[in-house]
Amino acid sequence: MRTRLLALLAIGSAALLDQSLFAQGVPPPSGIGAPPGPQAPKSGQAAAPVDFTGYWVSVVSEDWRWRMVTPIRGDFASIPLNAEARQIGNAWDPAKDTAAGEQCKSYGAAAIMRVPGRLHISWADENTLKIETDAGTQTRLFHFLPATILGVGPAPYSTERTWQGLSFANWERPVRGSGFPGFGLGATREGAHGKSLEVVTRQLRAGYLRKNGPPYSENTVLKEYYDLHKERNGDTWFTVTTVVDDPKYLTEPFVTSTDFKKIPEGAGWSPSACVAK
């Protein structure tokens, strides 16, 4: 028994010595394995826990009067606009927007997912998820970067403000040992359990939250959460929860939830230009 105990102590001492030497940069003795080196981070495509690629159609089951037709001037119900924003919205003039070449103001990133139509989602490259819309013929690019925080990205990304802005994405991952998702972009929220994809967008060109002119400013920060789910009948859907945070024109974040159903390849795909009304 005493011999066995001494042998175990000897093995433990050797292991501790090996770890100490390794920490100091001294190579381990022959035959003793070193701890594995750090693994290269996976690309956004390789790390994807779910597959959003394919063709999708928006399913409008609520907010019909604001989404399927152009609302009348001044109908801003459910949008938390401040007094300045209401004044701007009440001065909405679609003819003026068209003449100025700004007929896409209601097709920007903060509003485009609420515009009825079809989407085509694909990988532009292994770290860029692309969403194309047939309504307004818009293209959104979601960039996956391991060190990205709150949409602040390194060069060579353009700082030009555009309708779709600059978007960074991350697959939500569990906090170690908690069983709950961690937020790689810092876009925390309450009650989040098992969500799939989070996106933060900045560098937006000022636009409209709806067709009839309620504004959002270029300082808007857009946060989105995409959840994929399958029905018992085999249909595949995703829901995007959109949070528009604009301290200039909104009294609080504007939150909406929009559903999309997967459809056969290219079914009904019909790109159309932006229209101001």
Neighbours of 89 (CB within 10 A): 22
Residue 6: C-alpha distances to residues 11, 20, 32, 164 (Å) = 9, 21, 20, 68
**CA–CA distance, 46 with 32 (Å, rounded to integer):** 33
Residue 209: C-alpha distances to residues 11, 16, 48, 52, 75 (Å) = 68, 62, 30, 25, 12
**CA–CA distance, 275 with 277 (Å, rounded to integer):** 6
pLDDT for 13 equals 43
Is this structure's pTM higher than 0.85? no
User: In the chain, what is the greatest distance between 2 CA atoms, to the nearest angstrom?
Assistant: 95
Residue 276 tokens read as: 């101001």
Q: What three-state secondary structure class fits 218?
A: coil
Radius of gyration in angstroms for the set of CA atoms belonging to the chain, rounded to a whole number: 25
pLDDT for 32 equals 53
- Ranges of residues in the chain with a pLDDT under 50 are 1-26, 147-151, 155, 175-194
